[in-house]
Structure 1
C-alpha cells in the first residue's frame, strides 16, 4: 500500500527513550495500514443475538489480526480481555509491544483505537497558534523518521511547497534517531535498522546531491516504502532510485556506513534535542515548532511568514489536489 493512500487521525507522539527505542517494532505501521485497508469488520457475517464472551471475542480478534494485519511469519498474542460495558478491550502483545484494541460484544467489529463515547464531552484544548520569527531567508526543518507513515505523507505535502518556493527558503528534512555508538549499526530509529540506514543514506544524498534529493525521496516513498521489512529488496530498491537520479550509489553507501554518515546523524540528533522533537513529523520554522495544519497551503503560508520580505514565489498557488498530511505521528 502506498503511503499517500492513508488518512489516519490518531495522534501518537511521545518522547523517544534510548533504552527502549531498539525494542520498538513495526506493529505501529502495520496497524495503521490495517486501519487504512478498511479491516474493521471481521468474524460472523451477522451479529449473535446475545453477543459472545470476552474470551471468544479476544480469540477472534487475535485470529483476525494474525491473518490480516501483521507481518508475514509473525504473530500477535492475546494477553487479556476487559469488559468495558458496551465493548471489550483486547490487550495484545506483538514483538514485545503491548497494544490495546477494542471489539464490539458481538465479535464482529474491531476498533484499532479507543472509540469515543458520544455521551461524554471531549475536552480538547484548542491548537496553539505559531508565531514565526522573521528572517531574511526562512529555514524550515521537517523532522521525520524515514518509514513513519505520517512522516512520509508530510514529506509528500512539503514537496509541493518545495516546488513552489524553490531555493528561496531553506527547506530541509531532518531525522529523529539516537546515536548510541560510533558505527552505523548503533543508530537507533523507531522502525528498526532498515529505517536507520535509510535515514543515513538520505543525509548523505542531501550532502552530495542536494538538487536531486527531493526527486530521490519521492521515488523512495513511492516504490521502496512498502519494502520496509525486507532488507534485501530495500537495498535493490534504493539503489534503483539513486540510479534513476544519476546518484552514485556506491558513494552514498560508503558515506552512510562510515564516520561521515555518523557525523551527519549526530547533527540531526542534536537539532532534535535542541527543539525537544520526539514525534514524526514535526516542522520547525526559524527555530520555532509549527503547530498548524498539515496542508501544502498551510506549510507554504507559515514558511512565507518567516521572511522579512516574502519573495514573489510565496504568491504561487499550491496545487489544489495536493493531499493533506494526517494529524498523527510516530513516536516511542
Structure 2
C-alpha cells in the first residue's frame, strides 16, 4: 500500500482508495487541463470530483471548504463527514498532492512516522512487539513511550513485550528479563502495571507488591523457563556468549533472527520492523498505521514529549540511541 493510500486511509477510515499514486496523482487531472493555468473555481470542482470518484465510498459527500495559494500550489481544506484534511492541488489542475513536506524545516513526528511506516501491513487487531533489554536505558525510554498507547488502545492491539537475545547488563538483567516474561504470563494488566512501576522506580520487589503478582506462580514459571532455555547454565558458560562478551538470552531468539533485531529497543508492527520516535504520540501514530480500520482512539492526542532514558520520570530527547549493535 502506497504512502498516498495510507495517508487517506488513516485520516478518513471510510475512504476506499482506488487510485495508485505517490505524492502526485497524474493522468486524471490531465484530461481536464487544456490550459497551463486553470481558473481557481474550475480546479476546485475538479479536485472535489477527483476525491469523490477515487478516494471515498460511493455516495459520500465531499466539499472543499477553503482554498488558498501557498508555495505555488492551491492549499485546500477537504471536508468528508465530520473530518477535515489539508491537501494540495497544482494550479494547472493536473496534479493532486495528499501531503507536502517542507524540506527547509524539520519533518514533524507524525510525518516521519508516516514515511517510515508505509510498508506496515494492516490487521483488524495489530500485533505490536517491543524488544528490549530490561536494564537498557533506551529500552526503558521506549517502554515509557509505548505504555500510554497500550493503555489507550487496550484490547484493540495485541502488545507483546519481548527481549533481545543477549544481555548487556549482567545477571540482574537476565533475572529481570525472566521475571517480566513470567509476569506477562499472568496477563497484560499485571505486566503493564508492573512495567509502569518498574520503569519509574527500578525496584522489582516494590513493583511486585504494588501490582499483587502471584509469587508462587511467578516462582514456578521462572524455574520452568530457566530449565527450558538453560538461561543460568549459559550465563555460566562463557563459551556460549555472544561475541565472547554477553550471555545469550534465548527465549525469543527465533523472533530476533526473523525480524533482524540487533539491539534494544526494536519495534515490530504486524511483522514489520519499524522506526519511531519514542514519545507517546509518535508511538500511537506508528501503531495506528497497522490498523485495517483505525479506531477513534487513533485521533486522540498524547504527549509529544520524549521520555527520559533510564529509570525515573521526566523528559529527554528523542533519537535512535540503543543498547547493542
- 1:137 is matched with 125
Distance of aligned partners of 1:202 and 1:270 in 2 relative to their CA distance in 1, 3 Å threshold: same
Q: Are residues 1:280 and 2:258 paired?
A: no
Cα shift at 1:269: 1.6
TM-score (norm: length of structure 1): 0.51
Matching of residue 243 in structure 1 with residue 209 in structure 2:
yes
2:184 is the alignment partner of 1:174:
no
Partner of 2:218: 252
Aligned to 1:292, the other structure's residue is in SS state: coil
Q: Distance in 2 between matches of 1:140 and 1:284?
A: 6
Equivalent residue in structure 2 for 1:313, among 293, 297, 303: 297
Which entry has the higher C-alpha Rg, 1 or 2? Answer: 2
After TM superposition, list the pairs within 5 Å mapping 1:175-194 onto structure 2. 175-178=163-166, 189-194=167-172
Match of residue 175 from structure 2: 197
Distance 2:281 2:145 in 1: 9
- Name the counterpart of 1:331: 324
Q: What is the Cα-based RMSD across aligned positions, in Å?
A: 2.5
Tell me how far apart the structure 2 counterparts of residues 151 and 288 of structure 1 sit (CA, whole Å).
Answer: 18
Give the number of the structure with larger relative contact order, counting CA–CA contacts within 8 Å between residues 6 or more apart.
Answer: 1
| Length, aligned pairs only | 185
SS of 1:247's partner is coil
CA distance in 1, matches of 2:145, 2:227: 26
**Which TM-score applies when normalising by structure 2?**
0.52
The equivalent residue for 1:93 is: none
Q: Secondary structure at the match of 1:258?
A: helix
Q: Which SS does the other structure have where 2:281 is aligned?
A: helix
Deviations for 1:217-266, whole angstroms, at most 9, x for unmatched residues? 12112222xxxxxxxxxxxx423211111112232133123237746974
Question: Counterparts of 1:279 and 1:259 in 2: how far apart (Å)?
Answer: 22
Q: Which residue of 2 aligns with 1:156?
A: 144
The CA deviation at 1:171 is 1.7
Distance 1:292 1:217 in 2: 20
Q: Is the 8 A contact 1:161 1:299 kept in 2?
A: yes
- Would you say the 8 A contact 2:198–2:204 is kept in 1? yes
On the 8 A contact 1:243/1:249 being kept in 2, the answer is no
Deviation at 1:320, TM superposition (A): 4.7
Q: 1:260 to 1:168 in 2, by over 3 A?
A: farther
Looking at structure 1, the residues matched to 282 and 227 of structure 2 have their Cα atoms a distance apart, in angstroms, of 32
Q: Which residue of 2 aligns with 1:289?
A: 273
- Aligned-partner Cα distance in 2 for 1:320–1:287: 25
Please tell me whether residue 220 in structure 1 is matched to residue 198 in structure 2. yes
Structure 1 position 173, deviation (Å): 1.3
How far is 1:311 from its partner?
A: 1.5
Question: Matched residues in 1 for 2:288 and 2:221: separation?
Answer: 34
Equivalent residue of 2:182, what SS?
helix
Q: Distance in 1 between matches of 2:149 and 2:138?
A: 17
Contact 2:128 2:268 in 1 (8 A): yes
